[in-house]
Amino acid sequence: MTDPAALFLVMLAFFLLERRRWGPLAATSGLAAFVRETHVLVYPYVFLHELRRGLSQGSARVPAAVRAAVRTAALAAVPIATLVAIRGLVTPNQPDDFVSGIVDSTTFRFHHLLDNQPYVLTIGSFGVLVPLLLLFPARLPGLVRRHFDRAFYVVAVYATLAISNNNERPLAYALPALVPAALACLRTLLRETRLPGVPVLASVVALQALFWAGQRWAEMGMSIYQPVNWTTVAVMAGFWAAAQVALRRLGVEAPSARGEPPLDR
């Protein structure tokens, strides 16, 4: 499968963009064009990231957008041209009916909307990251506003499910955005509750181990037919509820009440 290499290159692109390493980022993008088309999700993120950075520095809205668009276009031009060329030169050995793929995937998900889909699209793909992301639900809108570039990237990753007959493989590309957010929530929990770090971190690792142990890996089609593991759901919900109790007992206020910014990056 090309996904491990493709996900590595996506994560590397996030890493290089944060450090303003445009040369290595361009080289990474060029290489990624030969691995998997999913890398195109990086380019809207680059545009929004640069736009957010320009706006945060007090630049005028239009110039910031123009600079972001120019940088994104310069970065994406060669890789996208490479993808188009590969598509034109390589003939697939299986039918490539884009519209039928969308119809089949969305129909299946709709029919299983009350079955396993809510599970496989959340805890069933990300495990302990889900309760961590929801530790401070009142702060999520602020986090999304501050990091709209990453929020849009996650939405774009989920949108690829419309053409995919898998769950974990396409959703794994959201990890570069979700993992930092989940760790920020966990760090905030430890800071504001003053709970001992080692036991809390050990419980997080144990929850993820429990999630992996309960997944059915070897059976054909489990990426989309994965049944709900109610033990995992109950334990994850229990962890989240225990964190909420600890926060309430300590009287932790919402940021809107204290005038503080949302979660740290």
**Domain boundary residue, one of 48, 72, 96:** 96
Asked if residue 215 and residue 104 are part of one domain, the reply reads: yes
Distance CA 229, CA 211 (A): 9
The sign of the dihedral angle between the CA atoms of 66, 76, 147, 192 is negative
Verify that 202 and 233 share a domain, yes or no: yes
State whether 23 and 60 are in the same domain. yes
Convert 119-132 to b/e letters by CB count within 10 Å (16 or more is b).
bbebbbbbbbbbbb
What integer pLDDT is reported at residue 41 of this predicted model? Answer: 96
Span 136-188, pLDDT tens digits: 999 999 999 999 999 999 999 999 998 888 888 999 999 999 999 999 999 99
Report how far residue 55's alpha carbon sits from residue 144's, in angstroms, rounded to the nearest whole number: 15
The reply to whether 53 and 107 lie within a common domain is no
pLDDT in tens, 48-65: 999 998 887 765 556 888
141 and 65 part of one domain: no
Using the predicted structure, report yes or no on whether residue 44 has a pLDDT greater than 60.
yes
Q: Is the pLDDT of residue 125 over 70?
A: yes
Task: Please choose, from the candidates 38, 122, 30, the residue with its C-alpha nearest in 3D space to the C-alpha of residue 76.
Answer: 30
pTM over cut 0.85: yes
> Phi and psi at residue 260, in whole multiples of 5°?
-95, 155
Higher pLDDT among residues 42 and 102, named by residue: 42
What pLDDT score does 177 carry?
96
Please say which residue of 41, 75, 96 terminates a domain.
96
Average pLDDT over residues 95-117: 82
Whether residue 232 sits in one domain with residue 123: yes
Among 85-94, 113-122, 232-241, 242-251, top mean pLDDT goes to 232-241
- Clarify whether residues 68 and 167 are in a common domain: no
Tally of domains within the chain: 2
Looking at the structure, do residues 119 and 57 belong to the same domain, yes or no? no
**How much of the chain exceeds pLDDT 70, in percent?**
92
SS (H, E, C) 52-113: HHHHHCCCCHHHHHHHHHHHHHHHHHHHHHHHHHHHHHCCCCCCCCHHHHHHHHHHHHHHCC
Mean pLDDT over residues 201-225, rounded? 89
Residue 264: predicted pLDDT: 40
Rounded to the nearest integer, the mean pLDDT of the chain is 88
What is the per-residue pLDDT across 228-264, written as a single tens digit (0 to 9) for each?
999 999 999 999 999 999 998 877 655 444 444 444 4
Alpha helices in 163-196 (DSSP H): 168-171, 175-193
Full residue range of the structural domain in which residue 35 is found:
1-96
Q: Which of 81, 96, 111 is the C-terminal boundary of a domain?
A: 96
Between 93 and 242, the higher pLDDT residue:
242
